[in-house]
Structure 1
Amino acid sequence: MEEMDVQQLGENIVKVLKTIYDPEIPVDIYELGLIYDVFVNETSDVKILMTLTSPNCPVAETLPMEVEEKIKSIDEVKGVEVELTFDPPWSQDLMSEEAKLELGML
């Protein structure tokens, strides 16, 4: 796989992540800053490091599964691993300007 393909796949993954919303906040999980990292290797295996707004988040079980399912649905993706972390814990500082604007925080 060429370097450009990895980058393109990464961009496609971000597009898909932007279609997944936190059920309690009308902002997608990418803009919310819940996605800490997206790794794509030459064999099109994807690893996503993500967090939740809190460890007791009602979607703690379902949101990572939704992320995995939606990323798996991208044709070029071979495998997906979603790792949940609370280190560092999520804070509003991780939100994009767009998300803050959407939530009336700016």
Structure 2
Amino acid sequence: MGEKKWTEEEIKTIQEDILASLETVIDPELGIDIVNLGLIYEVELDEDGFCVIKMTLTTMGCPLADVITEQIHQAVSEVEEVKKVDVQLVWYPAWTTDRMSRYARISLGIR
């Protein structure tokens, strides 16, 4: 028999844990976490614990992309079920301030 497969509910819970860990990754320029900034587009997890995080940055060519990616790897490694992480930068749809949470908007004084 193979390894136990997760239920849809368990996967959803693990994805929530991954998102919670990503809230510890702070954009160095804006001082707000990448989840509340709306930079995380998708979190996928397969049965082997391989996690794909699709995200964008506030600007193309952001000089801090490597720093943020490294922090993501460190944060997600705290989630027990995740065995490997692949961070994929995507540019579509383009990020806008509309993707920010209410918390991020208030913190940055954006209406």
| Fold equivalence (TM over 0.5) | yes
The answer for unaligned runs of 5 or more in structure 1 is none
Instruction: Tell me what 1:21 maps to.
Output: 26
- 3-state secondary structure, aligned to 1:105: coil
Instruction: Report how far residue 72 of structure 1 moved.
Output: 2.1
Instruction: Tell me what 1:35 maps to.
Output: 40
Residues in 1 aligned to 2:70 and 2:85: alpha-carbon distance in whole angstroms:
10
The one of 55, 58, 83 aligned to 1:53:
58
- 3-state secondary structure, aligned to 1:46: strand
Percent identity over the alignment?
Answer: 37
The residue identity in structure 1 corresponding to 2:45 is: V
- 3-state secondary structure, aligned to 1:61: helix
Mapping of residues 1-106 of structure 1, within 5 Å:
1-106=6-111
- 3-state secondary structure, aligned to 1:38: strand
- 3-state secondary structure, aligned to 1:89: coil
Q: What is the TM-score normalised by the length of structure 2?
A: 0.86
Q: What is the TM-score normalised by the length of structure 1?
A: 0.90
Q: Deviations over 1:38-93 (max 9, x none)?
A: 11223322110011111232211221122122212321112111101112221111
Residues in 2 aligned to 1:3 and 1:90: alpha-carbon distance in whole angstroms:
29
Residues in 2 aligned to 1:70 and 1:18: alpha-carbon distance in whole angstroms:
9
What is the aligned length?
A: 106
